[in-house]
Amino acid sequence: MGIVPGMIKGLGVTAKTAYDTMFPDGPLKPPSPSKGAVTVQYPHEKETPTARARGVIALQEDNCTACMLCARECPDWCIYIEGHKEKAPPRRAGGKPRQKNKLDRFDIDFALCMYCGICVEVCPFDALFWSPEYEFSEPRIADLLHDKSRLAEWMETVPDFESYESGSEAKVRKVPR
Amino acid sequence: MIGLAFWIETTFRSAGGLAAVLLPAGPLVYLYLFKMMSFMQSRLGPMEAGPAGSMQLLAEVGKFLQKEDLFPAKADRIVFAAAPFVVLVSSFLLVVVVPFGPDAWFVNLDTGVFFAMAVSSVSVIGILMAGWASASKYSMLGGLRAAGQLIAYELPLVLAVMGVVIQAGTLNMQDIVLAQAEGEIFGFGGIGNPFIITQFLGFVIFMIAMQAELTQPPFDMPVAESELVTGYITEYSGMRFLLFFIGEFATAGIFAMIASVLFLGGWWVPGIDPDSNLFNILGPAVMFAKVLGVTFLVFWFRITYPRFREDQLQKLAWKVLIPLSLLNIVITGILKVAF
């Protein structure tokens, strides 16, 4: 294709897009660009994110052993963990009391977080999960530091893992509730 | 012309000039830059301020007015502050020679076309001032690019207009309109003789050169944001940035006026006697409609094409447009003598 026909074709592409946006119902119907546009007018209408979208990180506090793997793998160092050891009652009567790591502080600074998901990947105890919720902006940047109670609240919004295709031998992970 | 006191005449002319420069710029930005561009990219554009975002420009102006008027530490303060006004002055000077009706004109110069072409290069000085005085390498490069580009494309612009001037036999803008209104194409005078038909090559060259003169994409190397941040306006903020912005789109409107006067018959529409008094009222509206048509093309090209490289830009001007426009002049001259 020569230069000039190519340029005319380009003009055609933009004109066609404008036409499709203006008149999605066809040439004789009234123009309704809000229907023809591929974009969504965000605060007025919202798209539901896909179930496995990376919106915010949720914490299942009971599963966390304060092993610090997530904090150490975090590229931004935006996870702050503090814990102490506690004696827990023995499993069987007459046994030795067990030692347990008790979580004092688990904060994720979402002002620093880059949503890479390495912490979720690396957690061996099923304590961190992705939630598709994305509307947690704050007027003050300090409020983006979510403490463990706030992170635990996100657990409710974590969707169940989808089942694999039929015939798969792998067991579907379960979200602890 | 009715005898009016000089100060009344001056007031009318100033008000008219302001209206002619600023009134088209607003609709152009809203209709084409905001809405048409959005639709061509399958989105809606501004929707919040006013019905369908129609008050967006007021919001933008309000935002710019609130911003601090920053000066870089090493800037040449006086030149830096004056540069946007020089750019804006060139658009006000351009509108002076544009006729809007048989009696509705600011100045009826015998050398109108010559004046318009000369004055349109004044903005280069403002842009060079801005680029130099900013004391920033991006601004400097942007200013130099703008100067090189505007000077290169001034030539095809002038040469393309030459064809029209030869055919009309006058440099007076008013007489060019009348020549189109009273002209005939092979003895058929029903639609007059808008020079876009006989000077189509000239019109195409004029449109391309105009696009470059306005530094609209694909000719926006002076403000190429991926290379030069925003070129000569990098260091500007607030009101002065706004002046550059207004200057850009006001000049787009005025160049479209000149294009419609030269090629589309200006304030005249077929079917009405060009001497009729009606055109003093109808003329501006007709002009505005034609301006919308011409700027539609400008913005359509702007939205569609990606930016040229600097050397491609200069090649296009010197190796393609200037020879073509010289050819156009030769052919027009031969035909003018022959018929």
Instruction: Mean pLDDT check: name the lowest of A37-46, B93-102, B263-272.
Output: B263-272
Dist. CA A151–CA B66, nearest whole Å: 40
Residues in chain B closer than 8 A to A11 (CB atoms): 300-301, 304
- A10, A17, A34 ranked by CB distance to B44: nearest: A34
Say if B296 is an interface residue toward chain A (CB within 8 Å): no
Per-window interface: A 40-79 vs B, CB < 8 A: 41
Task: Identify whether the C-beta of residue A116 lies closer than 8 Å to the C-beta of residue A86.
Answer: no
Q: Suggest the residue from B39, B296, B297, B300 to mutate for an interface test with chain A (most A CBs closer than 10 A).
A: B39
- How far apart are the C-alpha atoms of A68 and A94, rounded to whole Å? 32
ipTM: 0.73
- Residue B38's closest chain A neighbor by CA? A18
Torsion sign over Cα A65, A71, A74, A79: positive
Q: Which of A138, A145, A129, A134 has its CA nearest to residue A177? A: A129
Distance (Å) from the alpha carbon of A34 to chain B's nearest alpha carbon = 7
> Searching chain A, which residue's CA lies closest to the CA of residue B46?
A41
Average pLDDT of every residue of chain B: 84
Q: Please check the confidence at residue B68 and state whether its pLDDT lies above 80.
A: yes
CA distances to A103, B227, B272, B322 from B317, rounded to whole Å, are 71, 22, 39, 6
- Residue B144's Cβ-count burial label (10 Å; 0-12, 13-18, 19+) is middle
**Region for B216 from its dihedrals, namely left if φ exceeds 0, alpha if ψ lies in -120 to 50, beta otherwise:** beta
- Residue length, chain B? 339
The reported pLDDT for the residue numbered A25 is 78
Flag whether pLDDT at B287 surpasses 90: no
User: What is chain A's alpha carbon radius of gyration, rounded to the nearest angstrom?
Assistant: 25
State the number of CA atoms in the 13 A half-sphere of A67 facing the CB. Answer: 15
Q: Please state, for a pLDDT cut of 90, what percent of chain B lies above it.
A: 1
What distance in Å separates the CA atoms of residue B11 and residue B121, rounded to the nearest whole number? 27
pLDDT value at B44 more than 80 = yes
* C-alpha span between B335 and B339 (Å, rounded): 6
Q: What is the pLDDT of residue B186?
A: 66
- For residue B1, pLDDT beyond 60: no
Q: For residues B84 and B68, what is the distance between their CA atoms, to the nearest angstrom? A: 16
Percent of chain B with pLDDT over 70: 97
pLDDT value, residue B189: 64
Q: What is the pTM assigned to this prediction?
A: 0.79
Chain A: closest CA distance from residue B40 (Å): 4
Residues with pLDDT less than 70, chain A: 1
Cβ-Cβ contacts under 8 Å for B280 (sequence gap 6 or more): B101, B102, B103, B104
- Contacts of residue A105, defined as CB under 8 A and 6 or more positions apart, other chains included, come to A80, A81, A82, A83, A147, A148
- Please state, in angstroms and rounded to a whole number, the distance separating the CA atoms of residues A72 and A78: 10
Cβ atoms of A154 and A133 within 8 Å: the answer is yes
Residue B244 has pLDDT above 90, yes or no: no
Q: Give me the residue from A7, A14, A41 closest to B303, CB to CB.
A: A14
Six token digits for residue A78: 């935006």
Q: How far apart are CA A82 and CA B288, in angstroms?
A: 70
User: Which of B40, B44, B305 is opposite residue A17, by nearest beta carbon?
Assistant: B40
Which residues in chain A have their CB less than 8 angstroms from residue B42's CB? 17, 20-21, 36-39
Q: What is the pLDDT of residue A57?
A: 92
Which amino acid, A165?
E
Closest by alpha carbon to B189, among B262, B270, B265, B278?
Answer: B270
The answer to whether the CB atoms of A14 and B42 lie below 8 A apart is no
- Residue A118 has what pLDDT? 92
